[in-house]
Structure 1
Amino acid sequence: MSPASPQILIVDDDPDLLKLLAMRLQAAGYTVASAASGEAALALVAAAKPGMVITDLRMGSMDGLSLFDALHKSDPALPVIILTAHGSIPDAVEATRRGVFGFLTKPFDSKELLRQVEAATSLASGASPTEARVGKSDEWRQAFVTRSPIMNALLDQAHMVAESDASIFIRGESGTGKEMLAQAIHRASPRRSKPFIAINCGAIPEPLLESELFGHTRGAFTGATRDHKGLCQAAEGGTLFLDEIGDMPQPLQVKLLRALQERKVRPVGATQSIDIDVRIISATHRDITAEMKAGNFREDLYYRLNVVSFEIPSLAERREDIPLLASYFLNLLCVKYHKEINGFAPEAMELLLGAPWPGNVRQLQNIVEQTAVLCTTPIIPTSLVQKALRDDIGSIVPFEEARRHFERDYLARLLKVTSGNVTQAARLAKRNRTEFYKLLQRHQLNASLFKEVTE
């Protein structure tokens, strides 16, 4: 935080919460003023001119959104964070649609509150919207538009790991941003000035994949008319991202393991090995544990790649990001297509918030683009979102991923019906108890949690 950070005005009709907020913010080094109502806040704003406002949503005669509207009539650039114990989809939709900077529910997460406060106060120093969201020291992660505590915790861990040279293994469903995370780690690492090179191991045939990774010499095979430097050499000093590593053919897995152990590669057709200095980040959407059990992926290679592991949450696990992401994509698309669209109708945003999103963030981006292209009004209507969700090809996921979703939902349903009784659930599934426990472990389902929910 800059020493010249602007004053923060906090507004709430709960005196205990006002004290708690003031203590948290003052402990972080901020100057704080407080008001017990929206009307009192407006009077203070005229005299003190704060740099940002944190207000409760539900108050007496003037609620948080009414206060926001009044504040923005005189100062449209003033950042406002709304805090409420009555968090709901309509509230979040309405707040986001009107342009509220942040929206948090009580009991609030102190770390996330301070993160949003720091981002909001940076607007007063003239930072761009992107800089304001992430902070100048966090430029490495600026591609991630999120207010999710889960996602922010993952990014904090990724930043710590980036300083080391440890190999990183990223799990996540298709469309969650595995390559984006790999790029962010590279930008935060000491290797940031060197190349970042990505390759999809499942998109290239086996004979060509070896040549792409390790290179080849002239005459090594038909069509090899010159020496070719492989991607391991091209990424020298930087980061090599192996996407969909779970699809790598087994013979090549052996050669990759040897290259990682010796830190040398031998181009196809060459007799001498070449030293390499690259950091390896790999990723997959597959259940790699199941692949190893089936003999499709080498355990020794997995443990060499999986020094540090990250799992990116699906969009369904961080729904609080949907309004933020939808608005972010819409703003970019308005510039791209030269359109003036102010946002989504409240019912349209509710549809986005409630959709299953099997294609994750990539699918959301496609839906927003489709609606923006077809929209002829200042607000995207519900009908356009309904049609886009119904027609979207991104909702079709790979067979294995669909089966994994089905298994997880099926097991959870059984546990819910049996109140967490594993023996009874296994009997209903016509599986022995040991096998049923293994299925629960594979999908990280804890039977005891269903007992607590039932009780």
Structure 2
Amino acid sequence: MKRKARILLVDDDASLLKLLGLRLKSEGFEVATATSGAEALEWLERERPDLVLSDLRMDGMDGLALFDRIQRQHVGLPVVIMTAHGSITDAVSATRSGVFGFLTKPIDKEALRRTIHEALAVSLPAFEDDWQHDMLTRSPAMTGVLEQARRIAPLDISVLITGPAGAGKELMARVLHQASPRRDHPFVALNCGSLPEPLLESELFGHVRGAFDGADADYAGVLLTAAGGTLLLDEVEELPARLQSRLLRALEQQEVRPRGGTRNIKTDVRVLSASSRDLVAAMEQGRFREDLFYRLNVVNLALPALKERPEDIPLLARHFLEQIRQRQATQVTGFAPEALALLAAAAWPGNVRQLLNLVEQAVAMASAPVIGVQLIESLLTGSGEQFPTFNEARAEFERMYLNKVLRMTDGNVTQAAALAGRNRSDFYKLLSRHGIEASVFKRKED
């Protein structure tokens, strides 16, 4: 079942906002409202709608200024502008800047419905909305990656998925496969760093009878067994040079010759690859073929580390707990709020994989239905985590917050202070306390 499309309405006329919200809800949409551009941006930090419908004339930040901020921070999110002061000049200005549509108040019901459905056809995937249900997130950083993934999933192109170990690269590959036209065919994953070269060659290209250490049966290899579907080459940087050459030839010719074979076999497979290493550096050092790199890296999806998406940690912890409860009998039903706060503040060098491991340990060791703060603290300490003091955690939050508002305002201290709700003097003191230079964030002129 598809979820309802989410629309964010922005208008400083509260009565109109309520009326339009009721109309859209009756049409079957999920609706959130904001009475100013600033309130809309604050909401967008927590959630991602499928469409923003904004008034043009508003006090403070107008609709086009809001669109400009959305375009920079939430790439691909369609925005429709409404105004009671409609004119050809406004419409041309809005559409030339990339606004999806332009509606004049009073809003014509049919024009509204048509524009919304046209915008959602761009914003929403053509597949069932559970295509990404395993990639739980509230993080704008991760949402941006998923939006990019949704757009490229239907395209039969190679994708390189990068990110630190444990960040979920294989899961992202499965998401791409699930959202692609190949989703009804096999998904096969091969770790290129887990096998010696002869075995890896056989796994990739297959072998014929007797051609591999006395083998008495043919073996197809993953390039053939994944035919019609998707092949993930994990730790692709570990491919030996000779196999890099063979793989490139197989991808270019779309055919495979098994080890010991005398003829090539046609194959049809989409190849995804994943790496936690710097493949550009490996290429520059001659350890990875440049032509193969560009063949695999048509599009790059870079997954953020878990510490860069702290808002997702409680969400993921609860999800992992529910998965464990479905697999095994346990008395554990949830986490104490303080325990979730500890998890959200930890550094997680092992990323999502480490969090899953810790939740499994907590469930195994819990002596009560609710996992408490003491158990989480002991597990974090035991895993080598240095849990920060309150003052350290607050200082780290302040530093991240200041950097974020300065990035959002391109280093404009007046705008950043206003966004933070502080006066310029106090804001400068905060910058000085954390050794932050606003000039670093100013946009360089071409």
Verify same fold: TM over 0.5: yes
Distance 1:265 1:148, change over 3 A: same
1:317 aligned partner, one-letter code = E
Aligned equivalents of 1:116, 1:146: Cα separation in 2: 18
| 3-state DSSP of counterpart to 1:164 | coil
**Residue 287 of structure 2 is aligned to residue 292 of structure 1:** no
**Residue 19 of structure 2 is aligned to residue 109 of structure 1:** no
**Residue 265 of structure 2 is aligned to residue 270 of structure 1:** no
**Conserved? CA contact 2:2–2:128, under 8 Å:** no
**Conserved? CA contact 1:334–1:372, under 8 Å:** no
1:451 aligns with 440
Match runs of 1:174-323 below 5 Å: 174-323=165-314
Using structure 1 for the length normalisation, give the TM-score: 0.62
2:356 aligns with 365
Match runs of 1:73-88 below 5 Å: none
**Conserved? CA contact 1:201–1:242, under 8 Å:** yes
Q: CA deviation at 1:329?
A: 1.3
Of 365, 369, 382 in structure 2, the residue corresponding to residue 391 of structure 1 is 382
Distance 1:242 1:53, change over 3 A: closer
Of 149, 166, 176 in structure 1, the residue corresponding to residue 157 of structure 2 is 166
Aligned equivalents of 2:379, 2:364: Cα separation in 1: 11
**Conserved? CA contact 2:188–2:222, under 8 Å:** yes
Distance 1:340 1:23, change over 3 A: farther
| 3-state DSSP of counterpart to 2:271 | strand
Q: CA deviation at 1:365?
A: 1.0
**Higher deviation after alignment, 347-356 or 331-340:** 331-340
1:151 aligns with 142
Aligned equivalents of 2:283, 2:271: Cα separation in 1: 20
Q: Which runs of 5+ in 1 are unaligned?
A: 33-50, 57-84, 86-103, 118-133, 397-411, 417-446
Aligned equivalents of 1:149, 1:285: Cα separation in 2: 22
Aligned equivalents of 2:259, 2:354: Cα separation in 1: 39
Aligned equivalents of 2:275, 2:159: Cα separation in 1: 12
Distance 1:280 1:135, change over 3 A: closer
2:25 aligns with 30
Q: CA deviation at 1:53?
A: 10
**Conserved? CA contact 1:250–1:297, under 8 Å:** yes
Aligned equivalents of 2:383, 2:51: Cα separation in 1: 33
Q: Which runs of 5+ in 2 are unaligned?
A: 53-124, 387-398, 404-435
Q: CA deviation at 1:342?
A: 4.0
| 3-state DSSP of counterpart to 1:385 | helix
Deviations for 1:397-426, whole angstroms, at most 9, x for unmatched residues? xxxxxxxxxxxxxxx9xxx9xxxxxxxxxx
Q: CA deviation at 1:450?
A: 6.7
CA root-mean-square deviation: 4.0
Deviations for 1:308-329, whole angstroms, at most 9, x for unmatched residues? 1100111111111111111111
1:382 aligned partner, one-letter code = V
Q: CA deviation at 1:280?
A: 0.4
Aligned equivalents of 1:346, 1:105: Cα separation in 2: 28
2:246 aligned partner, one-letter code = K
**Conserved? CA contact 1:169–1:283, under 8 Å:** yes
Deviations for 1:184-207, whole angstroms, at most 9, x for unmatched residues? 111111111111111000001111
Q: CA deviation at 1:221?
A: 3.3
2:47 aligned partner, one-letter code = E
| 3-state DSSP of counterpart to 2:301 | strand
Aligned residues: 319
Aligned equivalents of 1:111, 1:349: Cα separation in 2: 18
**Conserved? CA contact 2:46–2:139, under 8 Å:** no
| Sequence identity (%) | 45
